[in-house]
C-alpha cells in the first residue's frame, strides 16, 4: 500500500516535537548555561566541567543497566515524565541556591546533569523512535533547533545576569524554568508510548488503518521483549562502534566549544564589538545552526544517516583546522563550520538506532548507543577547558580537526550491509524469521 503522509506530523506529533525540543532547551539552560556563565561563582570552570563529566558518566551507567530491561518496561512515557519532574526540581535548585552555598549548589548541579540527560536524550528519544521510525531524522532536525535557540538566548541572558551590581541568576533562569514546566505538561497531557494509543498514526502514515496500527503495535511490544540485540551482542559488534564513535566525537567537540564561548569569543572582544560582540556572534551561531539542524534532518530522512554523518565530520575537520589559526576571521569561519553539526549531532543517536536496526530492536540499541555517545560527549567540556586554559583556544580547535579525521575514517568503515548480515545471524540463532526489512536502509 502506498504511504500517505500529510505535510505535517499530526497534532500529537507536533506535541511530541515540542516536548523533545523544550527538554533539549532545558538541558542547555541548566547544564551548559551554568558551566559557560556561572562557573566562576560556584567553584571555577575546571571543577564544574569535571562535575558535568562525572554526572554524565553516572547517567551512562544507569542507561547501560536499564538496557537489559527497557524492552520489558510497560511505559516509557511514564518514565520520561518522572525523569522530567526530578529534573525540574533540581533545576530549581540550580536557579535558587545562592553563591555562598557552593558545595550544595555543586551537588544539585551534579544531580541535575545526571537526570536531565536521562530525560531529554534518553527517555524522550525512545518515544520519538516509536512514533516516527522512518521520519525520525526530520523530527529530530526540528527538535534540535532548540540548541541554537538556547545558545542565542544565553547571549541575551548573559548580558542581563551581571547588568546590575549583584548577579540576577533567578531572573536569568526563570524564563527557561517556565518553558520547561510547559514542556512537561505537554508531555503529560498529549503523549503516549505509541501513537496508536491516542488514535494517531506511526510516521503520520494514514494509509495504515487503526486496526493495522494496533496489530503492529501489539506485535512490536511482544518482539521487544525478545530482541536479539542484547547489551553484549551490541557492544561486540564492530558496526556499532563505527557509527557510535563518530557521533560521540561530533557531540564532544560541539558541546565542548559551546561551553566555553564566553572565553573563546572574548579573545577578540574589541574586533567583534562592531557586530555586537559576544551577543552578536551567538545570534549568528543560532541562526546558522537552526538552518543547518533542519537541513541535516531533512537530508537524513532522504539519504540516510551515514551519509549526513559524513557531511558533519567533514565540517568538523574544517572547523578544527581553520579555527587553529589565531585570527578573528578564521574563528568566525570555524564557528560557522561548527554550526553544521552543532544541533544536528544530537539527531544522530535516535536516527542511527532507528535507521539501521529493526523497530523491535530500536529501544535496546538506542539504550546502549545513547550512553556511549553521552560518555564521549561528557568529556568535551573538560577537555576543551583544559586545552583552552593551558594552550589557548587554537590548540583546542586543532584537536577538533584531528578528531574529525578519525571520525571520517570510522564512519566510512560503517557498512549497513554488514550490519544486516550480523542481524540475520543473530535472528537465525534465536529462531526468528529472516526478512528484507533492513535491506533498503541507506
Q: Enumerate long-range contacts of 217-223, CB under 8 Å, 24 or more apart.
A: 220/359, 220/360, 223/360
Res. 1: pLDDT tops 70: no
Average pLDDT of span 348-375: 85
Confidence of residue 2 (pLDDT cuts 50, 70, 90): very low
Confidence of residue 441 (pLDDT cuts 50, 70, 90): low
Q: The whole model's pTM is what?
A: 0.76
Three cell numbers written together for 128: 520519538
Res. 67: pLDDT tops 50: yes
Q: How far apart are CA 255 and CA 345, in angstroms?
A: 10
Residue of higher predicted confidence among 210 and 287: 287
Confidence of residue 6 (pLDDT cuts 50, 70, 90): very low
Average pLDDT of span 73-89: 93
Longest CA pairwise span in the chain (Å): 70
User: Average pLDDT over the chain, rounded to whole?
Assistant: 86
Average pLDDT of span 60-86: 86
Picking from 43-47, 67-71, 104-108, 395-399, which range would have the lowest pLDDT averaged per residue?
Answer: 67-71
Q: 37-46, 120-129, 217-226, 316-325 — which one is most confidently predicted on average?
A: 316-325
Q: CATH fold of 11-430, please?
A: Growth Hormone; Chain: A; (1.20.1250)
Q: Which of 149, 137, 176 is nearest to 30 (CA)?
A: 176
Res. 135: pLDDT tops 90: no
Res. 255: pLDDT tops 80: yes
Three cell numbers written together for 355: 535507521
Average pLDDT of span 77-92: 96
Residue of higher predicted confidence among 310 and 163: 310
Residues 6 or more apart whose Cβ sits within 8 Å of residue 158: 36, 37, 172, 262, 278, 279
Confidence of residue 442 (pLDDT cuts 50, 70, 90): low
Amino acid at each position: 500500500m502506498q504511504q500517505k503522509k500529510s505535510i505535517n506530523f499530526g497534532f500529537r506529533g507536533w506535541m511530541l516535537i515540542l516536548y523533545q525540543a523544550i527538554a533539549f532547551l532545558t538541558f542547555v539552560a541548566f547544564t551548559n548555561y551554568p558551566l559557560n556563565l556561572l562557573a566562576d561563582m560556584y567553584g571555577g570552570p575546571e571543577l564544574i566541567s569535571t562535575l558535568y563529566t562525572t554526572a554524565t558518566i553516572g547517567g551512562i551507567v544507569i542507561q547501560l543497566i536499564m538496557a537489559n530491561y527497557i524492552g520489558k518496561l510497560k511505559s516509557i512515557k511514564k518514565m520520561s515524565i518522572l525523569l522530567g519532574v526530578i529534573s525540574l526540581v533540581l533545576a530549581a535548585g540550580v536557579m535558587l541556591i545562592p553563591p555562598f552555598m557552593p558545595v550544595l549548589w555543586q551537588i544539585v548541579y551534579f544531580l541535575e546533569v545526571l537526570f536531565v540527560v536521562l530525560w531529554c536524550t534518553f527517555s524522550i528519544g525512545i518515544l520519538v523512535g516509536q512514533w516516527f521510525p522512518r521520519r525520525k531524522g526530520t523530527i529530530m532536525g526540528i527538535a534540535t533547533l532548540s540548541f541554537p535557540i538556547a545558545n542565542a538566548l544565553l547571549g541575551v541572558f548573559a548580558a542581563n545576569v551581571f547588568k546590575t551590581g549583584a548577579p540576577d541568576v533567578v531572573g536569568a533562569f526563570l524564563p527557561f524554568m517556565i518553558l520547561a514546566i510547559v514542556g512537561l505538561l505537554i508531555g503529560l497531557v498529549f503523549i503516549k508510548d505509541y501513537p496508536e494509543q491516542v488514535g494517531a498514526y506511526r510516521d503520520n502514515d494514514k494509509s495504515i488503518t487503526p486496526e493495522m496500527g494496533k496489530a503492529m503495535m501489539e506485535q512490536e511490544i511482544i518482539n521487544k521483549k525478545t530482541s536479539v540485540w542484547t547489551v553484549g551482542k551490541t557492544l561486540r559488534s564492530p558496526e556499532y562502534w563505527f557509527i557510535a564513535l563518530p557521533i560521540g566525537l561530533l557531540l564532544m567537540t560541539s558541546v565542548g566549544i559551546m561551553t566555553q564561548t564566553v572565553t573563546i569569543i572574548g579573545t577578540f572582544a574589541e574586533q567583534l564589538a562592531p557586530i555586537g560582540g559576544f551577543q552578536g556572534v551567538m545570534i549568528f551561531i543560532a541562526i546558522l545552526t537552526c538552518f543547518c539542524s533542519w537541513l541535516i534532518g531533512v537530508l537524513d530522512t532522504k539519504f540516510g544517516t551515514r551519509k549526513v554523518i559524513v557531511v558533519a565530520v567533514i565540517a568538523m575537520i574544517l572547523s578544527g583546522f581553520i579555527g587553529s589559526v589565531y585570527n578573528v576571521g578564521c574563528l568566525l569561519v570555524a564557528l560557522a563550520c561548527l554550526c553544521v553539526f552543532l544541533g544536528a549531532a544530537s539527531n544522530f543517536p535516535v536516527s542511527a538506532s532507528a535507521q539501521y536496526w529493526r523497530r523491535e530492536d530500536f529501544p535496546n540499541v538506542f539504550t546502549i548507543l545513547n550512553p556511549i555517545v553521552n560518555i564521549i560527549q561528557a568529556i568535551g567540556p573538560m577537555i576543551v577547558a583544559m586545552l583552552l586554559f593551558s594552550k589557548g583556544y587554537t590548540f583546542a580547535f586543532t584537536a577538533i580537526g584531528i578528531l574529525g579525521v578519525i571520525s571520517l575514517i570510522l564512519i566510512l568503515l560503517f557498512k549497513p550491509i554488514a550490519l544486516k548480515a550480523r542481524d540475520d545471524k543473530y535472528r537465525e540463532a534465536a529462531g526468528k524469521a529472516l526478512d528484507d526489512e533492513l535491506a533498503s536502509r541507506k
